[in-house]
Amino acid sequence: MTLGPIGGSSGSDAIRAVEAVIATASLCRQCIVARTALPDRDVEIALRVLIRTSGVQLADVCDSCDSASTAFTGPMSNRDTTASAS
Ligand SMILES: [Zn+2]
């Protein structure tokens, strides 16, 4: 039983690519696939890893296609934490 990736370094490359496209926008999985040109399965795996390790959050709406499916956004887009006007 091996736990490591079999196909080389494509896994971490996929994670970086996904992380890059959601760093500045909320995107659903389909749009992430379209923007990264990665296989859907690689995007799904990368998202799971990022949610656990990089604080990627879920959003309600995709900024790109306005679909109501679950979107993903990077941990740095925390606009709502300090936005309350005093
Ligand atoms: Zn979308």
- Residue 27: pLDDT band with limits 50, 70, 90: very high
pTM score of the predicted model: 0.74
- Residue 40 pLDDT: 95
pLDDT of residue 65: 93
CA of 84 to the centre of ligand 1 (A): 28
Average pLDDT, the chain: 82
* pLDDT top residue among 11 and 4: 11
Separation of CA 3 and ligand 1 centre (Å): 32
pLDDT tens-digit map of 28-53? 999 999 999 999 999 999 999 999 99
Torsion over CA: 43, 45, 48, 51 (sign):
negative
> Cα of 69 to ligand 1 centre, how many Å?
8
Q: What confidence category does residue 66 fall into, taking pLDDT thresholds of 50, 70 and 90?
A: confident
79 CA from centroid of ligand 1 (Å): 20
